[in-house]
Structures are given as C-alpha cells and as structure tokens.
Amino acid sequence: MFGYYLSLAGKRLLETRGSSAALIIALGLGIGASMTMLIVVRALTWDPLPDRSQRLYHPFFDALPESYEVRADLDPRVSLTWVDAQNLLRQGPALRQSAMASARLLVEPQREVVLPFFAHGQYVTSDAFVMFGISMAKGASWTRQDDEAETPVVVLSMELAKKLGGDELVGSTVLLGGQVLRVVGISDHWNPRPRFYTDLQQDVFSGREDFFIPIAVAASKKMNVSNNLYSWGNEAPANRLKDARTAWVQYWAELPDASSVEQYAVFLENYVVAQRRAGRFERDTPSRMVSLKDHLVEQRIVPNEVKLQLALCLGFLVVCLVNMSALIFARFIRRSHEISTRRALGARRRDVVYQLCTEALIIGCFGGAVGLMVAQAGLYLVRMQPDDYATMASMDLATATATMALACASSILAAFFPALLATSGRLDMQIKASE
C-alpha cells in the first residue's frame, strides 16, 4: 500500500513542480540553518572524556580575602593555591587526584632542532595519566615517588618527540624551558575537547599538549605557567608559584561512586572549616564538589552569540514550517474535489490522510537533501571564523542522518493538520463545493 501512496505522491509532485520546489527550498533553508547551529552547539558541549567524565570532580572553595572583588569573567576560585593543592593531594580521600597547570616552554636548539620554538603542555601529577586516559606509545609515565622527590622527568607527545629525534628519546635528556629533563615516556595522541583540565580562559577548543612535566618540578624551578595566576597579597614572595596567596593550580579528583563523592565533600568541608579557624580563609562560602559536566556549564564555554544564533535559526525553522503548513493546506484545499471523490468511492479518511502525508514525506526527503547542502555551506563558513571552536564544526554520519530525519518529521508535521482539515467535511458538501 505504501508503494501505491508513493506512486500517487510522485505523480502529484511532478504535476505541481513550482509549488513543490518552493516547499522543498523553504524546508531545506530552515533545516540547514538550524542544523548548522545545532552542530556547533553539539561540538561546544561535547563530553571530552565520554568513558570517564562521570567520575571526575573539581573541588570548589573560597580562599579569597573579604576585600577581594570577584569578577564574573575572572574568578580566581576556578584555581587552587599551591598550598591547598598539596594539602588535598596528601589528605584527600579520592581514588586518584591530580594537580595541573598549563605551560608554554621554549624548546632550545638540540639534536634535530636547529631553530628554537615554543611548545605547549601541562604540569601534572602522576595520577593524571590514568585518570584522563593518557596512554603511552613508548616508555611509561613517572610515579608518585617521582612527584614527591621532584624528579626532573618529562613525557613527550609523539609530535614533539619526532621533532626532537624520534622514538629513541626514552631514557635520554631534553632541554625544555631552560631545564634538563629526562624523557621517561612518549604519549599516544590525546586531545579532548573542550580542554576541561585548563582554567578555560583561553584556547578552550584549540591547541594540543606537547609534553607533561611533574608540577612539583615546575613549582620548585619557577618554570613558566601560561594559564592565569591570581594573587591577592601585597608582598612579593620569593617563589610566587608556592605562595599561599596565589591561585593557579587546576585540581581534579576521581570519585567512582556517589558514596565517595559524599565522603570527599565532607572532607572538603572539614578542610575549609579548619583553614578558616587557622585564619587563612576569611569568607563563609560553602564548599562543594562539581562534576566535570557541571563545571563546563558553570564556566559558560558556549559563547552567548552562539546561543543567540541558535535561537534565531530555530525561530527561522518555525517560520518556515508555518509557511509550509499554509502552502500545503492551500494545495490540499485545491484538491478537495479529488479528495471527496476518492472518499465517495470508498476510500477511508485515514487512507487519504496517509496518502497526503506521503507527499509531505517525499518533500521532506528532498528538503533534507537541500538542508544537508545548506548545512555544509554553513559549517564551511563557521570554519572560516577565527574562533578556536570553529575547526570542530563538521558533519558526521550521525548528524547527517539526524538532518534527514528532522526534515522528514518536520514536513509530515507541517502536512498532518492540513490533511485532517482537508478531509474533515461532509462528502456531499465537499463535492458540491468543488463543482
């Protein structure tokens, strides 16, 4: 039966090429524009570690003095001080936990390197490799004992290792940021987006990690930190990175279940109370554990202009569907004589509605194809923008399938109520009115 409906619908669409083309173009423009922005938003809100994110938590507490004025765009509380990070590392009841910071270091001439260049990476503790799924292509990561002993070691990415001489670097030394570091491993490709483990103030969706160095080594050697450093003291410390009045460390804890999250939250509250009694913390802001997904939402990584563009595109799609519904209703009303005659000859109302919706389905398929082309053109324009998330805007098989499904569903929805109205009158009145 469906084949018969398709045959009738195809003939009818060929008879009304002009209006059918208008419907297809209107639907394609609405679907294409909407899917373009939906794909962008999907890329911005993508789970950076799908198999691990539900176990990762960021501790939040307020170490700022009462006199510090917090700005929404620059909140020091997204970071921890070195003192607090070390206390949590020693005392925190987590399965694994890691203190981290971003780095930009000069790679000086050595081995295969003739001209110096800058490399970007992370200062981390040893647990980060297992927590975040950073696997080794060669060698191994360092241990907790290396963290405690501040052993000057480094794990290089495959890209940086190739520039420095290849896979045979494990066991040898390299010069990074003016420090001689022993290479203990070479990591596989690891590039989660968004880069949740940073302070999310810059390069949230772009960049890569060329190296990993123990954060204790970086703090003791006063190595360069590329993320924001927030200080609220009046005196110049001997080592700003280890000063209790400078926040710069990102901190993540792996908590596998609800009970461990609750246990860590209780520990964190007790820690804050103890620090407040010791005079370090002045504010009464409640502490809490923030999941990775909630942390990304709180940091508002989706730009406001993207949200506005998405709302406008969805509004445009609604306008297109309303116009489509009006045009389809006009098409069906002009065919009232055909519809009433078919019903008089014994066709059930629902059969006629099915046949009319089949016409809409064919329009939806062609409209979806136009929408795919519009979306691809829109994504190309997005990728031409200078924003760091632009390169992530691409269409895969799943989004292409969703585009076609949305187009077909929208077309059927726009035609369903006009089809009901066109078949709702008395047969004798419809036949008489159509004469």
Mean pLDDT is highest, among 122-136, 307-321, 341-355, for 122-136
The identity of residue 200, as a single letter, is L
CA 320 to centroid of chain Cα atoms: 29
The per-residue pLDDT for range 17-33, each reduced to its tens digit, is 788 888 888 888 888 88
Q: Is the dihedral of CA 298, 304, 306, 312 positive or negative?
A: positive
The predicted structure's pLDDT at residue 307? 77
**Predicted confidence band of residue 339 (pLDDT cuts 50, 70, 90):** low
Alpha helix locations (H) across 16-81?
17-44
**Predicted confidence band of residue 255 (pLDDT cuts 50, 70, 90):** very high
Classify burial at 82, counting beta carbons within 10 Å of its beta carbon; exposed 0-12, middle 13-18, buried 19 or more.
buried
- Report the pLDDT averaged over residues 134-139: 94
- Report the pLDDT averaged over residues 378-402: 80
Listed residue (175, 197, 206, 202) closest to 107, CA to CA: 175
- Report the pLDDT averaged over residues 221-227: 94
d(CA 253, CA 89): 9
Of 154-163, 321-330, 387-396, 409-418, give the lowest mean pLDDT range: 387-396
CA 274 to centroid of chain Cα atoms: 37
**Predicted confidence band of residue 327 (pLDDT cuts 50, 70, 90):** confident
Query: Tokens 């110096």 correspond to what residue?
Result: 116
The predicted structure's pLDDT at residue 168? 83
The per-residue pLDDT for range 25-77, each reduced to its tens digit, is 888 888 888 888 888 887 777 788 988 999 999 999 999 998 888 887 788 89
d(CA 305, CA 159): 35
Tokens representing 182 are: 């022993």
pLDDT exceeds cutoff 70 at 341: no
Query: Tokens 């050697």 correspond to what residue?
Result: 221
pLDDT exceeds cutoff 60 at 431: no
Of 62-76, 117-131, 387-401, give the lowest mean pLDDT range: 387-401
d(CA 182, CA 154): 6
Listed residue (38, 390, 50) closest to 192, CA to CA: 50
Tokens representing 196 are: 């949740």
Three-state DSSP class for residue 152: coil
d(CA 301, CA 315): 23
**Predicted confidence band of residue 388 (pLDDT cuts 50, 70, 90):** low
Q: What is the pTM assigned to this prediction?
A: 0.78
The helix or strand, by DSSP H or E, that contains position 118, with its residue range, turns out to be: strand 117-124
The predicted structure's pLDDT at residue 41? 81
The predicted structure's pLDDT at residue 429? 45
- Report the pLDDT averaged over residues 263-291: 94
Q: At 176, phi and psi to the nearest 5?
A: -130, 125
The predicted structure's pLDDT at residue 260? 96
The predicted structure's pLDDT at residue 432? 47
**DSSP secondary structure of 298-350:** HTT-S-HHHHHHHHHHHHHHHHHHHHHHHHHHHHHHHTHHHHHHHHHTT--HH
d(CA 260, CA 95): 9
Name which residue leads in pLDDT, 334 or 428: 334
